[in-house]
Structure 1
Amino acid sequence: MKIAITGGTGFVGRHLAAEFGARGDDEAVVVSRRTGVEIDDVDALAAALAGCDAVAHCAGINREIGSQTFQRVHVDGTAAVIEAAHRAGVRRIVLLSFLRARPDCGSPYHETKWAAEELVRVSGLDHTILKSGMIYGPGDHMVDHVTKAVRTFPIFATVGFRERTVRPVAVDDAVDVLIAALHGRIAEPTVAVMGAEELELGAAVRRIADLAGGHALYVPAPLWSIRLLARVAERVMVVPLVAKAQAMMLGEGVSSPLPLAPEPEPHLRPAHGLDPDRIRAALPEGGFTARDLRVVAWLARRRRLRSGTTVRPAGSH
């Protein structure tokens, strides 16, 4: 099969493309801003999808930056991918959504992810919607940010005074489920993709921190303070310690789907929980530095431009 991957240079997309390359059974076409295709450009998408049998729609963002809004990427982008698929004769689409994406919940991230699901459901294409929990692995935000935080700050704020639970999904497991869906091996049109282990959020943080060598003091913080932190972090950090959408995720837990959806067949479900070996493989170098601040990054770009050094544009997440 020839399969297009939107968001193919993002976290999950590049792992999916790499797996296709390693297996050699399917041909992957990477589609992203870095390959010159905007997610809402139907003509460019149709050209990229030409000759493909299916599309893995992995493009998404967890915070809005300039013109890259939730509406544009999640809703308009999905509508454009569907139209392009029809033009190119693509028969199947697999949408990577979020476990608790739903309407009327007060979070633009969750609501636009749900709107994308609804577009796929009425698209007329063969489809599978994967409502996935938090995915972790090399290049993620979860292990990366917890690691850098506990290495940098003496105090780590856990979310709320009542522990919520999570079922983290290893990225290699998520990729296996995506490939099964692309090949039409998942019977249900919408399934919940969750890791094999459910644990309290604080326990997940401590497991990562222990392997990262962090020694922070863990202090429970009210949800409103985490939401405030997210607002500040989005304004001042290149990649925020926690985004507003992530604050909501952490506040309600990520261990059950909303609306309810079945899991895939037992032999297709993720086999791993928050696995120590997979955590080690995802650990970044060092902690947070001044270069993680937007103003410092902006000044560095100005210096490079003045010296004539080109800067590669940032890709989507």
Structure 2
Amino acid sequence: MKIAITGGTGFVGRHLAERYDPSQVVVVSRRTGVDIDDVDGLATAFAGCDVVAHCAGINRQIGAQTYQKVHIDGTRAVVEAARRAGVKRILMLSFLRARRDCGSPYHESKWAAEELVRRSGLDYTILKAGMIYGHGDHLVDHVSRSVQTVPLFATVGFHEKPIRPIPITEMVDVLVAAATGELPYSTVAVVGGEELMLSEVVHRIAGIVDRRVLVVPAPVWTIRVLAQITEWTMKVPLIAKAQARMLTEGVSEAAPPTDELPESLRPRLPFTAAQIEAALPERGGFGFSDLRIAH
């Protein structure tokens, strides 16, 4: 089986590509010279592939890289290119709580992309995933670096909502199974094996990097302001506005409700020290090199 992976140099796409023989993988990204909304370029890249894993996505908008361009126009182009190239199956990585008319451009654009895939006429699997963590992620990476920068961490809102973190290894297991046709014509939720609060996540990570941290609740509006500031100033924001919205709602149940994975494919690993260690970046906090002005 030959597979094309959009967003193939990103977090999930990179880990998925590593599961296959390099000769059977086509990595598609801006770094490989193909824009996500370039139908002709995508069709050329998809030629000879049996499956497309559509993992391309953004969590903040910068310049021309908007949710409309990447999530909606990009998905429309991927579907059309897959048809032209004779690809039989398309997988889409979406977000657990992507839905219409919720006031979040991120959530709404992901939902619109899901609808394009569902109506494509191709065999499809849409994976509505919660928070995924692993080496190169935004969860363990950012929390560990944050607590090594300042011994204070603010959660989103005075009443925390639960999350169910998914190890990247188990997320890739689900993607590989879907690529082989185990979940035809379906939209399914993917969540991790342990439900916990962000404050618990922070304390576990802080313990692994030998830092003591004070975790305090903060009003939602202050986190939204922080998210906007870090989107403006940081190369990879400490927290994006879309991520702030996710934490406000919680990331443990699909919205709207959808099918669950078969028992044999459900992630089971808890958020343990071993899983955290595997995801940690090099030790150290945030610095000048993390600012957009430095680049």
Bin for the TM-score computed over the shorter chain: over 0.9
2:288 maps to which residue? 290
1:88 to 85, 89, 96: 85
1:232 to 217, 229, 244: 229
TM-score by length of 1: 0.91
SS in 2 for 1:165: coil
1:119 to 98, 105, 116: 116
Q: Cα distance, 1:172 vs. partner?
A: 0.6
1:11 maps to which residue? 11
Alignment of 1:298-313 (within 5 A): 298=295
Q: Cα distance, 1:100 vs. partner?
A: 0.3
1:268 aligns to 2:254 (yes or no): no
Q: How many residues align?
A: 294
2:32 maps to which residue? 35
Distance of 1:269 and 1:188 partners within structure 2:
18
Distance of 1:228 and 1:96 partners within structure 2:
28
Equivalent position amino acid for 1:100 in 2: R
Q: Cα distance, 1:209 vs. partner?
A: 1.6
1:79 aligns to 2:46 (yes or no): no
1:253 maps to which residue? 250
1:161 maps to which residue? 158
Q: Structure 2: which 5+ runs fail to align? A: none
SS in 1 for 2:148: helix
Per-residue displacement from partner, 1:64-106 (whole Å, max 9, x unpaired)? Answer: 1111111100000000000000000001000000000001111
Q: Cα distance, 1:188 vs. partner?
A: 6.0
Comparing 274-283 and 10-19, the one that deviates more: 274-283
Equivalent position amino acid for 2:288 in 1: A
Comparing 195-204 and 137-146, the one that deviates more: 195-204
Distance of 1:268 and 1:187 partners within structure 2:
14
Per-residue displacement from partner, 1:8-45 (whole Å, max 9, x unpaired)? Answer: 00000000000113xx8x81111111111000000000
2:124/2:184 contact within 8 Å kept: no
1:223 maps to which residue? 220
SS in 2 for 1:141: coil
Distance of 2:242 and 2:190 partners within structure 1:
19
1:237/1:294 contact within 8 Å kept: yes
Distance of 1:34 and 1:213 partners within structure 2:
36
Q: Cα distance, 1:50 vs. partner?
A: 0.1
Distance of 1:187 and 1:64 partners within structure 2:
32
1:144 aligns to 2:147 (yes or no): no
Equivalent position amino acid for 2:189 in 1: A
Equivalent position amino acid for 2:211 in 1: G
1:97/1:113 contact within 8 Å kept: yes
SS in 2 for 1:111: helix
SS in 1 for 2:69: helix
TM-score by length of 2: 0.97
1:95/1:128 contact within 8 Å kept: yes
Distance of 1:259 and 1:275 partners within structure 2:
29
In the TM superposition, structure 1's runs of 4+ consecutive aligned residues that sit over 4 Å from their partners are: none
2:187/2:258 contact within 8 Å kept: yes
Equivalent position amino acid for 1:20 in 2: Y
**Structural RMSD (CA):** 1.2
Distance of 1:87 and 1:139 partners within structure 2:
33
Q: Cα distance, 1:187 vs. partner?
A: 5.0
